[in-house]
Structure 1
Amino acid sequence: MKPPAIPITDDHIHIDPVNGRGIEAAKDFRRSGGTHIFLVSKPSWSFGIEPSSGEDYREVFEATLRVAEMVRETGLVVYPVLGVHPAEMNRLAARMTLDEAAAVMMAGLDLAARYVEEGRAVALKSGRPHYEVPPEVLSASNAVLFHALELGAEHGCAVQLHAESGPCIDVVEMAAEAGIPIERVVKHFATPETPLMPSFIARHEDIPALAREGRRFTMESDYMDENSRPGAVIGPKSVPRFTRRYLEEGLITEEDAWRIHVETPSRTYGVDIALP
């Protein structure tokens, strides 16, 4: 395949050599024209870990960084994103109080932030359940989310949010209180009405129209790399393929593609995206 004229960036992808296709999935992305990925840590249970302290997340993060090194050997540029999946709240609360669960998750985020401080990761991952939960669970989850935003402000890094579908308007006020710029609060699996920085699934039907409007956003596959769910959410080839299709059909311009894949993620994460 002819090398891409511009970098092609997947803003949220998982690569799992234990439970999924691993490096072969990364190679698929590269062969399809992909150049850069934001590699997001998977939940603790993907590694068979049942955390009782923040330190217990270290193996999750170290495993993610080991995968990052493996993927870099394929020629891709990899930016690790480390954090605690919001669904951990329910799992932890099954064996401890909600306050204790929130404290464990916050301590896990503190550890992730140290990796950012050391330059081994570029952003944090947090959020709240995307499904209906009791008010007390939502409150505890929002406390964890706010802590992540405070850490993002303290360390000058972006925070990727896994949360309910929709605008998440209340997070704007939370971000302002935490002191983190709203353009560094990334809504993973976004919908267009969000005031946060949207990261859209590559097949999202509104991408061409939003690009023509000059809207700042990124594209992602949210590829889970799990053999039990092959191709979910969409495959590793998706971001480069959809980008190429949008360009070939005249739905977006090269300037739009540059803004999506280079300018916006570079500004959001404080990295320098360029062709390797």
Structure 2
Amino acid sequence: MKPPAIPITDDHIHIDPVNGRGIEAAKDFRRGGGTHIFLVTKPSWSLGVEPSTGEDYRAVFDTTLRVADLIRETGLVVYPVFGVHPAEIGRLTERMSLDAAAAVMMAGLDLAARYVEDGRAVALKSGRPHYEVTPEMLAASNAVLYHALELAADCDCAVQLHAESGPCADVVDMAGRAGIAVERVVKHFATPDTPLMPSFIARHEEIPALARSGRRFTMESDYMDENSRPGAVIGPKSVPRFTRRYLEEGLITEEDAWRIHQETPSSTYGVDIALP
């Protein structure tokens, strides 16, 4: 069966030429049939940055832009997503107070929003720790997340949310207060019970049933591109491979695939996804 001519979009992937396979991983995605990626910034420490101010995140964002340019040379379309990983609050509080850590993270998001306004990134990334933390740290993390939602509303862009497994239903109210449509708050590594815009790991067993029901969602690999954790979370070929499998086995239709890989990400992020 010849695969249909449709875009194949990975909604959340990391490419790291220093600590991982780098451009070879991007080439794997393209060889598998992939066409578009949302390239998400890695945590600052993975790039050797230990921020003390928001401006220190510029090194992270500029590195990601250089990687994006290299990936584009392979023929892929790249949409950068900039932000501050929610786990940074734990590392920052080893060196400063909780309030100071939250302020640094918010300032880093302010900087990320300027890249969006300049057209160099298409969305923000924020969230809260996906592991148990103190009530005080959770409250500070939610304040950072709310700040990201407000910035996204001002920039008219989407936010990718890295948070605990589960619905994150309280974020619906946060988004409403911040003035951003809940359809533009993307729950990375989603579960079907979320009221936010789900981005499912490509191997998620409920993708076929959700697609047949008309549910809007995207697919991702969350490939980390770290030599110390090869193939984590799943490999760069995974989104095209699983999409092809679902199509070949009749589990999703070509119309479903267009909705997953073109219509939904285009409307969510305000980009125009089209075949090269």
Give the TM-score category using the shorter length: over 0.9
Question: Normalized against structure 2, the TM-score is what?
Answer: 0.99
CA contact (8 A) 1:4 1:33 kept: no
Residues in 2 aligned to 1:67 and 1:3: alpha-carbon distance in whole angstroms: 29
Counterpart for residue 39 of structure 2: 39
Residues in 2 aligned to 1:130 and 1:198: alpha-carbon distance in whole angstroms: 16
Whether 2:156 is the aligned partner of 1:161: answer no
CA contact (8 A) 2:4 2:254 kept: no
Give the deviation of 1:47 after TM superposition.
1.1
Counterpart for residue 221 of structure 2: 221
Q: What per-residue deviation string (whole Å, max 9, x for no partner) do you get for residues 222-266 of structure 1?
A: 000000000000000000000000000000000000000000000
Counterpart for residue 95 of structure 1: 95
Residues in 2 aligned to 1:169 and 1:253: alpha-carbon distance in whole angstroms: 30
Whether 2:167 is the aligned partner of 1:132: answer no
Counterpart for residue 144 of structure 2: 144
Q: What per-residue deviation string (whole Å, max 9, x for no partner) do you get for residues 182-206 of structure 1?
A: 0000000000000000000000000
- Counterpart residue type for residue 122 of structure 1: V
SS of 1:204's partner is coil
Q: Which structure 2 segments of 5+ residues have no match? A: none
Residues in 2 aligned to 1:46 and 1:90: alpha-carbon distance in whole angstroms: 14
SS of 1:159's partner is strand
Runs of 4 or more, structure 1, over 4 Å off, are none
Give the deviation of 1:4 after TM superposition.
5.2
Counterpart for residue 270 of structure 1: 270
Identity of aligned residues (%): 86
Report how many residues are paired: 276
Residues in 1 aligned to 2:24 and 2:106: alpha-carbon distance in whole angstroms: 34
- Counterpart residue type for residue 12 of structure 1: H
- Counterpart residue type for residue 201 of structure 2: I
Whether 2:255 is the aligned partner of 1:250: answer no
Counterpart for residue 210 of structure 2: 210
CA contact (8 A) 2:172 2:196 kept: yes
- Counterpart residue type for residue 178 of structure 1: A
Residues in 1 aligned to 2:192 and 2:3: alpha-carbon distance in whole angstroms: 31
- Counterpart residue type for residue 104 of structure 2: V
Give the deviation of 1:48 after TM superposition.
1.0
Question: Normalized against structure 1, the TM-score is what?
Answer: 0.99
Q: Which structure 1 segments of 5+ residues have no match? A: none
Residues in 2 aligned to 1:253 and 1:47: alpha-carbon distance in whole angstroms: 40
Give the deviation of 1:3 after TM superposition.
7.6
CA root-mean-square deviation: 1.0
